Chain A
């Protein structure tokens, strides 16, 4: 089944304790992205990757890191989580996002992160 898999589904952690949220897609998609969803603020892009070893900042990158060493994986790293990073996180992938392309995103099921 074509899908984007995120883990974990739920995570409660303490301030400052490094964590990684994994994301993997099995569709050979080039484009991958991380979003966070907060009430009243909608979905905001954190980071994205156009292809292996190509990553760039989205709208709200502060406090996050990403890497794209393989096409299928795009982990989100919080080096020193803070309570304002409590949110619902989504990984998404798309076949390609170059000029003039028209592809939808496939989303993972989400990771609900609470930082206390």
Chain B
């Protein structure tokens, strides 16, 4: 079952611009994670934000989490052509199976 839903489904920007992707989820979480997937390849873990955190940075990545709205955003600043990929949010439940449940992804295209 899909927990997170990303918005937009696809995003096309120019190199140097910022890219913002949003994720909404439905149930209580322990943490939320963002992953990148280059076409047909494995997913790469980018950043994890705990449920008691509101914002986290890693290099050109900035993630925010609003548990009251059950939403998160991923901002990539000064994008590069190499950032072209699909980006997925994934939520880890604080109960039950504790599996990561993935959203449907945002396809980001960065034009050189």
Contacts and interface: CB of A to CB of B under 8 A. Distances in A.
Interface of A: 4, 33, 35, 40, 42-45, 48, 56, 58-59, 88, 90, 92, 97-110, 112
A112 B41 CA distance: 10
Nearest to B34: A104
B94 A90 contact: no
B98 interface: yes
A105 B1 contact: no
| Dominant secondary structure at the B interface | strand
Nearest to B3: A42
Contacts of B104: 40, 42
A112 B2 CA distance: 22
A45 B101 CA distance: 8
A100 B45 CA distance: 19
Contact of B92 (A42, A48, A102): A102
Interface residues of B, number: 27
A97 B30 CA distance: 11
A100 B52 CA distance: 12
Interface of B: 1-2, 30-31, 33, 35, 40-45, 48, 50, 88, 90, 92, 94, 97-105
Nearest to A60: B1
A61 B37 CA distance: 24
A90 B90 CA distance: 15
Nearest to B5: A42
B40 A88 contact: yes
Contacts of B44: 107
Contacts of B99: 33, 45, 48, 58, 97
Contacts of A108: 42
